[in-house]
Amino acid sequence: MTEKDFIPQSNISYPKEGRIGYKAPSNIALVKYWGKKENQIPANPSVSFTLDACATRTVVTFKEKTPADEFSFDLLFEGKPKEDFKPKIETFFNRVAVYLPYLKKYHFTIDTSNSFPHSSGIASSASGMAALALCLLEIEKMADATKEDSYFDKKASFLARLGSGSACRSIKGSLVQWGKHGGLESSTNLFGVPYPHKVHEVFKTYHDTILLVHKGQKTVSSTVGHNLMNGHPYANSRFVHAHTNLDALEAVFASGDLEKFIGIVESEALTLHAMMMSSTPYFILMMPNTLQIINAIWDYRKTTGTPICFTLDAGANVHVLYPEDYKEQSIAFIQEQLVQYCENGHYICDKVGQGAKKLDLK
Ligand code: DP6
């Protein structure tokens, strides 16, 4: 498929008004997306677990307006106007306008909220952009009955990607791959696809407990971090490394080999942060408590043999990953030894989920 396949036919008759809602989850990358080209094209492929509890709920009300000459929307966050979110939405509208040519025909009220606290340090761009993309695309879905659901799933992911790269992995499925990889037909830079190879049962119920080490705003945004991969001295070897790790994960996902899984996932997390530490300018997003947690996980794993590991996003928080069969001892370990390193003792228990859902608004 190419970008052109997502431009709708011009003879569709769109509804005059309506109201749509979607809940979209966050996701946690196992092989990280870090570095991008023009038009939100990733520099390397990535794969992520779709989460469940961490999600954004967005309700969009739309009504026809004249003239249809510019974008018009109000933005509410948790029921209250939120002006500082508007520029990001405006940028998103501009990027997707050619694929959603009806956007200027309507005035929108976008009402959005997150399941996790706003000041948790958890990025809401993936779940937020996925939920918004789904709501806006639903208008086309209402108008065009000729297209199949699979087309709309791809287009939702394609649109979400234009809002925030990682958002394209928050539409469908428990394990999602985004980015062209090897000769695999189904993999593409344009949208996320359900992981195309065999996946062992153990990975379908994996847990992710997110330890909130630092709940404030990050010092460097992901967008700035991605750009610092341009001209980065280790960029090319990093991008090759991501492909190598995805190749290695194929056998791991199929067999359920947790030792190898842990080796790849932790190395990916530390490589992501190593890229930040070796860019120009360089920066560090981990905090002393991030390292305390990592060391405590390594000690606990070594002494007990529990297959528990960590990954990191672009911040100080730690995602602690463990299989369902080890849930009890892992939670006890987290509470006894790791929660002391969380800001105000806060953490979120999440697990692998199935993707976005349409809300029943009646
Ligand atoms: C470290 O998707 O937030 O979480 O495309 O600029 O919006 P933009 O970046 P974003 O980057 C996410 C980076 C990451 C790794 C990942 O999720 O793969």
The alpha carbon of 225 and the centre of ligand 1 are apart by a number of angstroms equal to 9
Predicted confidence at residue 185, as pLDDT, reads 80
The alpha carbon of 142 and the centre of ligand 1 are apart by a number of angstroms equal to 31
Phi, psi of 25 (to 5 degrees): -85, 165
Q: In terms of DSSP bridges, do strands 175-178 and 46-64 run parallel, antiparallel, or are they unpaired?
A: antiparallel
The percentage of the chain sitting over the pLDDT mark of 90, rounded to a whole number, equals: 90
Q: Which residues line ligand 1 (CB under 6 A)?
A: 29, 32-34, 40, 46, 123, 125, 164-166, 222-223, 226, 272, 313-314
The alpha carbon of 332 and the centre of ligand 1 are apart by a number of angstroms equal to 31
Predicted confidence at residue 103, as pLDDT, reads 97
Tracing tokens 């105000």 back to the chain, one arrives at 344
The alpha carbon of 143 and the centre of ligand 1 are apart by a number of angstroms equal to 32
To test ligand 1's pocket by mutation, which of 28, 32, 33 has the most ligand atoms within 8 angstroms of CB?
Answer: 33
CA dist 272 and 173 (Å) reads 24
Contact indicator for 98, 293 with CB cutoff of 8 Å:
no
Of ligand 1's listed atoms, the one at least distance from the Cα of 125 is 3
- Name the burial class of residue 234, with classes exposed (0-12), middle (13-18) and buried (19+) by CB atoms within 10 angstroms of its CB: middle
| Residues contacting 94, CB < 8 A, separation 6+ | 71
Of ligand 1's listed atoms, the one at least distance from the Cα of 226 is 6
pLDDT(118) > 90 = no
Contact indicator for 183, 60 with CB cutoff of 8 Å:
no
Contact indicator for 253, 199 with CB cutoff of 8 Å:
yes
* pTM higher than 0.95: yes
Of ligand 1's listed atoms, the one at least distance from the Cα of 36 is 5
Q: Where are the beta strands (DSSP E) in 115-160?
A: none
Task: Return the structure tokens found at 30.
Answer: 């196992």
Task: Return the structure tokens found at 76.
Answer: 């509410």
CA dist 260 and 202 (Å) reads 14
Predicted confidence at residue 343, as pLDDT, reads 94
CA dist 130 and 152 (Å) reads 13
To test ligand 1's pocket by mutation, which of 166, 210, 218 has the most ligand atoms within 8 angstroms of CB?
Answer: 166
Predicted confidence at residue 128, as pLDDT, reads 96
Q: Which residue puts its alpha carbon closest to atom 12 of ligand 1?
A: 166
* pLDDT tens sequence across 67-98: 999 999 999 999 999 998 899 999 999 999 99
pLDDT(193) > 80 = yes
The alpha carbon of 302 and the centre of ligand 1 are apart by a number of angstroms equal to 31
Can you tell me the mean pLDDT for 161-187?
A: 94
pLDDT(294) > 90 = yes
Q: Which 3 state secondary structure label does DSSP give 58?
A: strand
The pLDDT mean for the chain works out to 95
Distances (CA, A) of 337 to 292, 341, 345: 10, 8, 11
Given pLDDT bands bounded at 50, 70 and 90, which one contains residue 10? confident
The alpha carbon of 147 and the centre of ligand 1 are apart by a number of angstroms equal to 30
The alpha carbon of 313 and the centre of ligand 1 are apart by a number of angstroms equal to 8
CA dist 331 and 169 (Å) reads 27
Predicted confidence at residue 119, as pLDDT, reads 65
